[in-house]
Amino acid sequence: MRSEGPNRVIPLVSVVVATNRVSPFLDEALQSVVRQSYGHVEVIVVDDGSPQPEWVARAAGSVASAVLLRQPASGVAVARNRGAAQAKGDYLAFLDDDDRWHPRRLELQLESFQADPTAVLGYCGMQSIDESGQVIVTADQTAVLDEQGVARRNAGIILPNVLIRRDAFQEVGGFQPTFRLAEDLDLVLRLARRGRFVFTADALVDYRTHRTNTTQSYRELARSIDQVIRLHKWSAAERRNDALVAAHRVSLRANGRFAWWSALRAARLSLHEGRITDAIGHVTWAVRFSPLGLPDGLLRRRRRGR
């Protein structure tokens, strides 16, 4: 951090961008950091074994003073941890190579931390966009009051829209490399045990949805989420925190509904393309993974319709 005047301290924000591919959106993602109204920022780009390192180097070189780190393909958790280890900032933000920020993202989120100096994590509104940048889902994030609220996973807290105190990130040990997916969920749940979260309602992050991002690997993602939740549910049970155990049960049911929603979407696409066997495979997987996910989702929709 730096000082401006006798009483004002300006915190440094470290932005870590991990990439393992030639993303057509990387330049736009990096420029959204350059255009931030809050200027005390450092950018660290981690090339995690991308097939064209010179392309990543060119993109990183477009950002003044950006640090570029290269490593053999080791996974996103390892790449982000390496970037965070290089960071000098008071806060950490993790930018995916296909997302983008609104110009006042850091400014407004830092203001939220001023309202609660003890908070370990801040998150903001986030909308989904398509490949062309058009909004397809508006922001629907909500404020959480406690660890149970975080564990229920209905507030919309994921890595793209969070800002983390670096000391808190270090205290919980960063990302766990054992999780190839849902490593951000594991981190958020561990941080929730450390302290409070603050919420900025403005939609300040654009989360890009396209056919090549990792959320399309829905089976592996659903399994990973299930593993992470069950691990934290077991930990809560060991601590005899019944309220937290109940919150994790809510989260497990939500993951079952997500698995079914994703499987049915994939099945519809397969049918549209004439791949009937694949469509049957998607539904069969969902039945095995979450036998009660479909009726739970239908019942939930019915209750909302009342």
Cα–Cα nearest to 205, from 169, 162, 264, 249: 162
Facing residues of 3 across strands?
Answer: 9
Distance CA 237, CA 241 (A): 6
Query: Would the pLDDT of 266 be above 90?
Result: yes
pLDDT confidence band for 7 (50 / 70 / 90) = low
CB 41 within 8 A of CB 66: no
* Architecture of the domain made up of 2-213: Alpha-Beta Complex (3.90)
pLDDT confidence band for 77 (50 / 70 / 90) = very high
pLDDT confidence band for 303 (50 / 70 / 90) = confident
DSSP state of 158: -
Name the residue ranges covered by the structural domains of the chain. Answer: 2-213, 217-305
Distance CA 125, CA 202 (A): 5
Whole-number Cα distances in Å, 9 to 2, 12, 106, 114? 6, 10, 16, 12
Range 105-110 average pLDDT: 97
pLDDT confidence band for 301 (50 / 70 / 90) = confident
Please state the pTM of the whole predicted model.
0.92
On average, the pLDDT of the chain sits at 93
CB 137 within 8 A of CB 128: yes
Specify the 3-state DSSP secondary structure of 128.
Answer: strand
pLDDT confidence band for 92 (50 / 70 / 90) = very high
Range 6-35 average pLDDT: 91
User: What's the angle, vertex CA 275, arms to CA 272 and CA 277, rounded to 5?
Assistant: 135
Write out pLDDT tens, residues 116-135. 989 999 999 999 999 988 99
